[in-house]
């Protein structure tokens, strides 16, 4: 049947090529519509309870897209006219940033930060520096006095060393265009920097902006990688067609996938470009296998058409098995609840499945037109070197060497497996793992976190069953204890809630006596204290602490980093506290802000990790068992996948690469990808064995043919992927390394471990002649 | 048999992998050690009954103690969540503490156990600000609504005396011949020469609320208060005069140290007043010290400070206990 299919394709090659090129042209045209952008909502596991809380309250308590801007002086303190003017100007400029939530701009120069004073008429609250700047030195000194005695400002919006001031601004999530926000804010930052004055900005919109900023560079590296790959392929396969056809297959698959993405309305996150590369690598790898098989058939004396038919027939099963396994493995990612991962799964699986047509069908069809099949274009005979290497590999795996390889593999697997379990879920380091530690963004983040309590926030909602719950001393006591408990975690720089607002009013009411820095013993006293604070203020000024009915409030914690362990520790401790200290007539709800959102993402990633590995293995088992009609075949390839995963996870642990929303797609795709090398080797052995009934010769023969494809593509990919290491984005660089490693482990395992396993186990699905007779006939006739 | 095996094996593998996919892994919990001095703590007072022991009290019923000259502190169990305002100790084992809601605590075992005794005060205006031990061993406390309390059994029972007026007495000091003086709101000053049975108002040179009073000997004493006010007496509290101060920052606490008064207050205020020379010096605690303190104690070459942070200064260097923010 396979033979008939191959013959039909090649006999109607004009039709096949015509249809393929028309479709590709259509998809290529469509693919120009694909948007390269990050949709923040795509990163969130929508149904997770923390995300529900975040969505419900982010507009009042501050969402996950808060930007913090720090104005920092090198000499003296910020209480200088020129610096205060800069703070005011930046604050005003923030009103013009697209998608800004104008009620959530907070700084010394906003109306939200107030001075609380006792006077003959009671308590007076007035904005510290709004709308006007201090006019003279005396007013500046008064402002300084007011700031230093206000715990809601000093340490939170003015650093304890008085050298820095903070401006925080939040956005309306659904309106966010990261590029626009980034451009506007970086312009404001640039405009306000001067000698001795640094302005720094951090927050998710800025981070994403930096990634978009590096998009042209990323595309340049992508182009360079492709060129390097082409060059290396040319050196190793020695023909132009050996380079052009795999590249063409890659381009066709890419256009189909991107065209489909445009049709389905899926945007392309700049960070998953690396995945495009990973899939393209698979396309090219399959095409090279076919190209190499074609060369082998030509070497046996067949014409181009015969060789094309023979190579297509012979490689159809391992090729399709590889495609089916990879497609299914990519689909497994769909179980993750984050829309970005679902989209990656859909587009990724479409992309991988196109290999069936772009490489497995189209490559042999195009090869059938080759006029002088034996001609080489690269003068140096690199094939001899490759052959020598592969012969040495065969020497090792045939005979006793197989046991050494098996033993070594078990040792590597166990060692790597031990470390693999320690891979961090979430970010492994402070700062953003997407950028290098010395990047402007990470330097800014580090400076801000040093000067202030921490720039990443999490809010925990206190949701009352009735109004005025938040005024109750019992509620306030519970909340204050909760804050005290949270602050025990060293990575939490501080917390804030309604409790912190009431105390200072009470102090003012008692002539500034700090012994009254406390909430009242009755709800009505607390109500009056808050009322006094709110006198003369605008509606909405209390929003970040409580709603107007005092039914729903928030405890906000400021984190110095968002490492996976920091978040996990905080969440687990919060759950313990809530269980041990239930509120009366109210309950705590986890958790919003950037940290709350990341907690949800990390929990889902962690939950899905074992599930996706198990499902990928299940897919691999079922498909290979069906393809070879053997349970042993189903199990045979599992060690390879386990090995490449163990080594990669161990590498991630060693290099401190955390498993987060960005690395997960690469890691998840890698679970299933790479096993196709092994399919080609196994099928090669099987085919050779049917021909000559000599196990050792079959092994050597397969290594010299299928192994050549593995070695050539493996080496080419690994070397080109290392170019990614020059990326300004640390994430791209690390993922480049990771993919390189994945490919290396898969390639090395296919050349050593799989043949060694064949040599030791001598599985029936390869060597049982009676079983294979039916297939043998078909293969023998093509040969 | 072979057929059964052929059927069972793949099903078993599928079931095993399917089962594995439902496994939920749990990571071990990371233990965060509770800190004896927390970010949110406010310590209103401290005592150093001996060279090595430091005892501090503060918000939410918290008492901490160090037995190694403040190298390390441990939290003591207390039967209250009321804010504790002041502590006095007879020695390393016996001490008394007062605070909000008429709360008094006493210990005779170094704080291993604290007994709570409710002071005889009204339900409203029952904040006790200060507790001090008189030279004769009687312990005195001052509170809101003109209340003054004393105890002759080391805090196990209290007697309310005082002026029955709407004034908060913030502190108590002891002059010669058993005279007890209290100082408080609106510059208020009153002294009793008969163990609290009767109180005589003294003329005050200030209208600002006064937060602390102490005597260096039977005749000489000072009072400090809001807006940088310092008043002094040289006749055992009979007459008081205002001393010009170099600052208008609020003063919250004071202590006598050999030949000088140490005064603390808001915004990092730490001043020294030399009564002999009638002169002042101002210490700069640096940006980290730019906070408020309510109590100061000079002990064994150190000046201990309690307030927004707990710490000490030694030869000009400020050491703060607990985690820096």
Q: Which residue has the higher pLDDT, A36 or B95?
A: B95
**The two structure tokens encoding residue A539:** 């509606």
| Helix H or strand E encompassing B126 | none
Burial class of residue A650, CB neighbours in 10 A (0-12, 13-18, 19+): buried
Report whether A600 contacts A51 (CB < 8 A): yes
* Distance in Å, alpha carbon of B35 to nearest chain A alpha carbon: 6
Put simply, the answer to whether B17 touches A618 (Cβ < 8 Å) is: yes
Question: Which residue stretches of chain A have pLDDT < 50?
Answer: 773-783
| Interatomic CA distance for residues A234 and A215, integer angstroms | 29
Residue among A514, A649, A764 with most chain B CBs within 10 A, to mutate: A514
Q: Structural domain boundaries of chain B?
A: 167-302+311-325
Chain B residues closer than 8 Å to A495 by CB: 40
Closest CA to B249 of B231, B261, B265: B265
Put simply, the answer to whether A160 touches B42 (Cβ < 8 Å) is: no
What lies within 8 Å, CB to CB, of A52 at 6+ separation is none
| Interatomic CA distance for residues A665 and A333, integer angstroms | 7
| Interatomic CA distance for residues A148 and A139, integer angstroms | 14
- The ipTM is 0.92
Q: Chain B neighbours among A 482-501 (CB < 8 Å)?
A: 483-484, 487-490, 493-495
Put simply, the answer to whether B38 touches A487 (Cβ < 8 Å) is: yes
| Helix H or strand E encompassing B279 | strand B279-282
| Interatomic CA distance for residues A156 and A150, integer angstroms | 10
Report cis status (omega within 30 of 0) of the bond before B278.
no
| Interatomic CA distance for residues A390 and A715, integer angstroms | 13
**The two structure tokens encoding residue A664:** 């997960």
Query: Helix H segments across A422-520?
Result: 440-451, 473-487, 498-509
Chain B residues closer than 8 Å to A617 by CB: 17, 20
**The two structure tokens encoding residue A40:** 């923040």
Chain B residues closer than 8 Å to A484 by CB: 38-41, 60
Give the closest of B39, B101, B250 to A487, CB-based: B39
Is A512 in CB contact (< 8 Å) with chain B?
yes
Give the alpha-carbon dihedral of A508, A509, A510, A515, to 10 degrees: -60
Q: Is residue B192 pLDDT above 80, yes or no?
A: yes
Report whether B252 contacts B192 (CB < 8 A): no
Neighbours of A223 (CB within 10 A): 10
Residue of chain A whose alpha carbon sits nearest to that of B249:
A145
CA end-to-end distance (rounded Å), chain A: 15
In the three-class reduction of DSSP (H, G, I as helix; E, B as strand; rest coil), residue A724 is classed as helix
Put simply, the answer to whether A484 touches B266 (Cβ < 8 Å) is: no
| Helix H or strand E encompassing B99 | strand B95-99
Report whether B296 contacts B254 (CB < 8 A): yes
Give the closest of B209, B288, B292 to A514, CB-based: B292
| Interatomic CA distance for residues A581 and A577, integer angstroms | 6
Chain A residues closer than 8 Å to B13 by CB: 621, 631, 634-635
Please give the pLDDT value at position A778.
Answer: 42
Residue of chain A whose alpha carbon sits nearest to that of B290:
A148
Report how many Cβ contacts below 8 Å link chain A to chain B: 121
In the three-class reduction of DSSP (H, G, I as helix; E, B as strand; rest coil), residue A440 is classed as helix
Is A7 in CB contact (< 8 Å) with chain B?
no
Report whether A570 contacts A492 (CB < 8 A): yes
Is A609 in CB contact (< 8 Å) with chain B?
yes
| Interatomic CA distance for residues A113 and A460, integer angstroms | 22
Give the closest of A511, A572, A610 to B23, CB-based: A610
Q: Torsions phi, psi of B267, nearest 5? A: 50, 45
| Interatomic CA distance for residues A347 and A261, integer angstroms | 6
Please give the pLDDT value at position A782.
Answer: 38
In the three-class reduction of DSSP (H, G, I as helix; E, B as strand; rest coil), residue B180 is classed as strand
Put simply, the answer to whether A487 touches B10 (Cβ < 8 Å) is: no
pTM above 0.80, yes or no: yes
Put simply, the answer to whether A518 touches B22 (Cβ < 8 Å) is: no
Give the closest of B27, B40, B44 to A487, CB-based: B40
Is A481 in CB contact (< 8 Å) with chain B?
yes
- Say how many residues make up chain A: 783
Please give the C-alpha separations between residue A31 and each of A268, A345, A355, A365, in angstroms, as whole numbers. Answer: 11, 18, 18, 25
To 5 degrees, how large is the angle CA A658–CA A659–CA A664? 140
| Interatomic CA distance for residues A709 and A749, integer angstroms | 14
Please give the pLDDT value at position A497.
Answer: 94
**DSSP code per residue over B200-249:** EE---S--S-EEEEEESSSS-EEEEEGGGEEEEESSTTSS-EEE--S--S
| CATH assignment, B167-302+311-325 | 2.120.10.80
Put simply, the answer to whether A609 touches B25 (Cβ < 8 Å) is: yes
| Region at B5 (left for phi over 0; alpha for psi -120 to 50; beta for the rest) | alpha
Put simply, the answer to whether A488 touches B35 (Cβ < 8 Å) is: yes
Neighbours of A304 (CB within 10 A): 20
| Helix H or strand E encompassing A393 | helix A382-397
Is A453 in CB contact (< 8 Å) with chain B?
yes
| Region at A394 (left for phi over 0; alpha for psi -120 to 50; beta for the rest) | alpha
Task: Taking the CA atoms of A544, B325, A598 and A478 in sequence, report the sign of the dihedral they define.
Answer: negative
Residue among B17, B169, B212, B284 with most chain A CBs within 10 A, to mutate: B17
* Distance in Å, alpha carbon of A155 to nearest chain B alpha carbon: 8
**The two structure tokens encoding residue B231:** 């008043």
Task: Of A108-122, B11-25, B209-223, give the range with the top mean pLDDT.
Answer: B209-223
What lies within 8 Å, CB to CB, of B216 at 6+ separation is B256, B261, B275
Report whether A146 contacts A134 (CB < 8 A): no
Is A338 in CB contact (< 8 Å) with chain B?
no
| Helix H or strand E encompassing B285 | none
* Distance in Å, alpha carbon of A694 to nearest chain B alpha carbon: 27
Report whether B170 contacts B98 (CB < 8 A): no
Put simply, the answer to whether A514 touches B266 (Cβ < 8 Å) is: yes
| Helix H or strand E encompassing A641 | helix A638-654
Please give the pLDDT value at position B237.
Answer: 94
Cα A16 → chain centroid = 38
Is A631 in CB contact (< 8 Å) with chain B?
yes
| Interatomic CA distance for residues B260 and B275, integer angstroms | 7
Report whether B17 contacts A622 (CB < 8 A): no
Q: Where are the beta strands (DSSP E) in A272-379?
A: none
Summarised one tens digit per residue, pLDDT across range A142-194 is: 899 888 878 788 888 999 889 999 999 999 888 888 889 999 999 999 999 99
Residue of chain B whose alpha carbon sits nearest to that of A612:
B21
Chain A residues closer than 8 Å to B265 by CB: none
Pairing of the two strands B180-184 and B169-174: antiparallel
Report whether B218 contacts B176 (CB < 8 A): yes
Is A424 in CB contact (< 8 Å) with chain B?
no
Put simply, the answer to whether A514 touches B24 (Cβ < 8 Å) is: no
Please give the C-alpha separations between residue A257 and each of A261, A264, B193, in angstroms, as whole numbers. Answer: 6, 10, 96
Report whether A205 contacts A171 (CB < 8 A): yes
Residue of chain A whose alpha carbon sits nearest to that of B9:
A631
Put simply, the answer to whether A514 touches B226 (Cβ < 8 Å) is: no
Residue of chain B whose alpha carbon sits nearest to that of A487:
B39
């Amino acid at each position: 049947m396979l033979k008939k299919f191959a013959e039909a394709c090649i006999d109607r090659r004009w039709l096949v090529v015509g249809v393929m090129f028309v479709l590709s042209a259509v998809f290529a045209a469509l693919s120009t519509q694909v948007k390269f952008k990050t949709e923040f909502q795509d990163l969130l596991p929508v149904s997770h309870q923390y995300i529900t809380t975040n969505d419900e309250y982010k507009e009042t308590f501050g969402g996950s897209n808060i930007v913090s801007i720090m104005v920092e002086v090198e000499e003296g303190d910020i209480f200088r006219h020129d610096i205060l003017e800069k703070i005011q100007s930046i604050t005003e400029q923030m009103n013009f940033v697209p998608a800004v939530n104008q009620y959530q701009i907070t700084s010394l120069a906003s109306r939200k930060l107030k001075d609380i004073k006792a006077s003959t008429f009671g308590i007076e609250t007035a904005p510290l520096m709004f709308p006007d700047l201090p006019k003279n030195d005396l007013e500046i000194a008064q402002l300084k006095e007011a700031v230093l005695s206000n715990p809601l400002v000093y340490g939170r919006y003015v650093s304890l060393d008085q050298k820095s001031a903070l401006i925080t601004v939040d956005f309306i999530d659904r309106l966010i265009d990261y590029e626009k926000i980034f451009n506007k804010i970086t312009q404001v930052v640039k405009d306000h920097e001067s000698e001795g004055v640094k302005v720094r900005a951090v927050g998710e919109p800025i981070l994403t902006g930096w990634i978009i900023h590096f998009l042209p560079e990323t595309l340049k590296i992508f182009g360079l990688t492709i060129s390097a790959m082409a060059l290396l392929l040319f050196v190793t396969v020695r023909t132009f067609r050996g380079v052009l056809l795999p590249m063409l297959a890659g381009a066709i698959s890419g256009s189909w996938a991107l065209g489909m993405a445009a049709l389905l309305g899926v945007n392309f996150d700049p960070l998953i470009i690396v995945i495009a590369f990973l899939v393209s690598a698979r396309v090219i790898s399959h095409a090279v296998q076919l190209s190499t098989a074609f060369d082998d058939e030509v070497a046996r004396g067949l014409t181009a058409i015969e060789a094309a038919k023979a190579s297509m027939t012979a490689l159809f099963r391992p090729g399709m098995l590889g495609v089916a396994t990879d497609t299914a493995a990519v689909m497994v990612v769909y179980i993750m609840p984050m829309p970005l991962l679902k989209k990656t799964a859909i587009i990724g699986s479409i992309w991988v499945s196109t290999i069936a047509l772009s490489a497995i069908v189209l490559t042999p069809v195009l090869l059938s037109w080759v006029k002088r099949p034996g001609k080489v274009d690269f003068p140096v005979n690199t094939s001899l070197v490759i052959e020598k290497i592969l012969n040495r590999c065969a020497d090792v795996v045939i005979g006793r060497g197989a046991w050494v390889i098996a033993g070594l593999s078990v040792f590597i697997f166990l060692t790597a497996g031990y470390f693999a379990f320690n891979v961090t879920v979430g970010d492994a380091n402070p700062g953003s793992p997407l950028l290098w530690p010395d990047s402007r963004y990470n330097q800014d983040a580090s400076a801000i976190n040093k000067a202030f309590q921490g720039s990443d926030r999490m809010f925990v909602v206190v949701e009352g069953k009735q109004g005025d719950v938040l005024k109750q001393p019992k509620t306030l006591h519970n909340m204050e204890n909760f804050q005290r408990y949270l602050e025990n975690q060293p990575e939490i720089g501080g917390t804030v809630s309604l409790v912190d607002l009431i105390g200072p009013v009470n102090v003012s009411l008692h002539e500034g006596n700090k012994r009254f820095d406390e909430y009242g013993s009755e709800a009505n006293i607390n109500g009056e204290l808050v009322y006094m604070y709110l006198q003369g203020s605008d509606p909405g000024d209390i929003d970040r602490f409580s709603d107007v009915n005092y039914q729903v409030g928030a405890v906000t914690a400021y984190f110095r980093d968002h490492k996976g362990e920091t978040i996990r520790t905080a969440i687990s401790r919060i759950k313990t506290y809530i269980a041990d200290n239930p509120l009366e007539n109210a309950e705590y709800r986890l958790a919003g802000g950037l940290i709350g959102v990341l907690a949800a993402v990390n929990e889902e990633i962690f939950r899905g990790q074992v599930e996706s590995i198990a499902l990928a293995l299940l897919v691999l088992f079922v498909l290979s068992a069906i393809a070879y009609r053997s349970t042993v075949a189903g199990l045979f390839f599992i060690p390879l996948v386990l090995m490449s995963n163990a080594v990669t996870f161990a590498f991630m642990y060693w290099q401190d690469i955390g498993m987060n929303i960005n690395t997960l797609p690469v890691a998840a795709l890698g679970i299933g990808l790479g096993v196709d090398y092994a399919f080609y080797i196994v099928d090669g052995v099987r085919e050779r064995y049917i021909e000559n009934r000599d196990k050792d010769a079959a092994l050597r023969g397969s290594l010299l043919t299928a192994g050549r494809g593995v070695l050539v593509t493996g080496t080419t990919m690994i070397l080109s992927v290392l170019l990614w290491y020059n990326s300004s984005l640390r994430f791209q660089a690390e993922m480049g390394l990771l993919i390189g490693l994945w490919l290396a482990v898969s390639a090395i395992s296919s050349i050593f471990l799989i043949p060694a396993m064949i040599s030791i186990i001598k599985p029936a699905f390869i060597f049982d002649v009676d079983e294979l007779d039916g297939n043998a006939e078909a293969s023998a006739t093509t040969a | 048999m072979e057929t059964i095996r052929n059927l069972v094996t793949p099903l078993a593998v599928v079931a095993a992998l399917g089962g594995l996919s439902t496994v939920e892994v749990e990571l071990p919990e990371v233990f965060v050690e509770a800190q004896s001095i927390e970010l949110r703590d406010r310590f209103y007072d401290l005592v150093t009954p001996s060279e090595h022991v430091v005892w501090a009290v503060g918000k939410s019923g918290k008492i901490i103690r160090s037995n190694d000259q403040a190298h390390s502190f441990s939290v003591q169990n207390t039967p209250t969540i009321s804010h504790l305002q002041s502590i006095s100790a007879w020695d390393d084992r016996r001490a008394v503490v007062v605070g909000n809601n008429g709360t008094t605590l006493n210990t005779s075992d170094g704080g291993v156990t604290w007994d709570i005794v409710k002071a005889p005060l009204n339900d409203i205006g029952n904040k006790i600000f200060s507790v001090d031990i008189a030279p004769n061993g009687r312990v005195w406390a001052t509170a809101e609504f003109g209340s003054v309390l004393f105890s002759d059994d080391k805090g196990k029972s209290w007697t309310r005396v005082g002026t029955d007026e709407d004034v908060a007495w913030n502190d108590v000091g002891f002059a010669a011949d058993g005279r007890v003086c209290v100082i408080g709101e609106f510059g208020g000053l009153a002294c009793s020469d008969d163990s609290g049975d009767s109180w005589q108002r003294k003329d005050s040179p200030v209208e600002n609320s006064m937060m602390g009073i102490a005597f260096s000997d039977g005749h000489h004493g000072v009072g400090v208060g809001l807006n940088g006010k310092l008043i002094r007496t040289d006749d055992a509290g009979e007459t008081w005069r205002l001393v010009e101060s170099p600052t208008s920052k609020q003063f919250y606490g004071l202590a006598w140290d050999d030949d000088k008064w140490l005064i603390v207050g808001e915004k990092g205020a730490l001043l020294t007043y030399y009564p002999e020379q009638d002169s002042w010096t101002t210490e700069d605690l640096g940006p980290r010290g730019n906070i408020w303190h309510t109590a100061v104690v000079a002990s064994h070459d150190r000046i201990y400070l309690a307030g927004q942070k707990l710490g000490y200064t030694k030869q000009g260097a400020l050491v703060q206990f607990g985690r820096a923010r």
